[in-house]
Structure 1
Amino acid sequence: MAFKTDVAERDEWSYAPAVGVGPLRFGMTVADVVEAAAALGRTKVGECARDHALFSPTWKVDVHRRGVAPSLPAVTAYVSRAVGLFCVAADAVNAPQVTHNGIPLVGRDFSELERDTVAYAEATDEYVRYTPEGYAGPDDPGVLLRGQLVGQVLRSRPLFMVTRDGANTEWDSMPSEEYRFNVSPTA
């Protein structure tokens, strides 16, 4: 079953649940992430705000694509002092494409992504997972779909995750910086 996406051609990264995405492996240190991400572009390391005392200090590594005009990072990797790399956020516009069971997840219009996900689930007797915001996606606890407004279209910004120190689920582990991307288009 082939799925089309209306985003520009982009590199492709593989995803393995609980292992990693592209060259990034869960558990990596900040230095390991910077080295692995060098193939995609330049990196900038910063500290994340400590919004929850439960979590150990966390850094984010923003990866900007080479040859792309100044824009949002293509990928943002979140690294906890306690568990290492635990989250990779893929920008809806600049990130490499990542698929799950052949369905492109990055930069998709949510209605098209939901249609493709439901069609796949029905054809293969799989399940669909809905986020608390109501987005349909693969039934994989390591993939959290977030929204990113691109023009007037809400596009998919997937987070590839494992739980971090002290959290019960990936939703509990989500970096607070990622909440700002989940916006709805205004009329």
Structure 2
Amino acid sequence: MSFKPEADAGVVERDKWSYSPAVGVGPFRFGMTVGEVVEAAEMLGQPSVSELPRDYAIFSPTWKIAVHRRGVAPCPPAVTAYASQAAGLFCVAADAVHGPQVVYNGLTLVGRDLSELERDAIAYAEAVDGHFRYTPEGYAGPDDPGVVMRGQRVGQLLRSRPLFMVTRDGAYTEWDSLPHEEYRNGQFHA
């Protein structure tokens, strides 16, 4: 299950982060306040914070923390974190091109061709007599409710953009907790 970034996909040198289900990813721990997220984000780059409109009354006020890499020409955020007033940090999205690399049980998750990721997820599940899961959009990934696989357009390619999550205030599942910005039909443009 090796992953070789393609030069034509514009993949940059990536930090390597670990993911612990229901605990966190990289320097981020679920439940952190906005201030704690900003402090942790400063090790990767320059964070900017914006309050999101409340689309649903069930959710408390929510902030988006976009983290741009230092020393890189203007580009999309490498990482986008979401924190709510009630739950704290509940979601971290890794950009397919600029985000850190995260490996889960031997599966490389960020910036992958989605069909290759599906093939590797199936092979892994068969090798360990385990499972994998599909999102409602049809993207395959690890059998962990805290990993929601999304697609991001990179030129003509569709690459993996995983979201690492826990449920937020008033939601039953991570899918229900998906930030509105991350829910755009699974199609992201870089």
Q: Same fold (TM over 0.5)?
A: yes
Which residue in the other structure is 1:4 paired with? 3
Which residue in the other structure is 1:131 paired with? 135
- Residue 25 in 1 paired to residue 19 in 2? no
CA displacement at 1:183 relative to structure 2: 2.0
Q: What amino acid maps onto 1:42 in structure 2?
A: Q
Deviations 1:38-60 (A, max 9, x none): 11000100011211111000001
CA displacement at 1:8 relative to structure 2: 4.3
Q: Which runs of 4+ in 1 moved over 6 A?
A: none
- Residue 173 in 1 paired to residue 177 in 2? yes
- Residue 74 in 1 paired to residue 73 in 2? no
**1:133, 1:184 → 2: CA distance?**
13
CA displacement at 1:14 relative to structure 2: 0.4
Which residue in the other structure is 1:102 paired with? 106
Which residue in the other structure is 1:160 paired with? 164
**1:85, 1:144 → 2: CA distance?**
16
| Residue segments in structure 1 that go unaligned for 5+ positions in a row | none
SS of the counterpart of 2:163?
strand
Q: What amino acid maps onto 2:51 in structure 1?
A: E
SS of the counterpart of 1:180?
coil
Check the 8 A contact 1:149/1:181 in 2, yes or no.
no
| Residue segments in structure 2 that go unaligned for 5+ positions in a row | 6-10
CA RMSD in angstroms comes to 1.4
Which residue in the other structure is 1:113 paired with? 117
Check the 8 A contact 1:3/1:102 in 2, yes or no.
no
Check the 8 A contact 1:5/1:104 in 2, yes or no.
no
**2:84, 2:4 → 1: CA distance?**
33
CA displacement at 1:179 relative to structure 2: 1.6
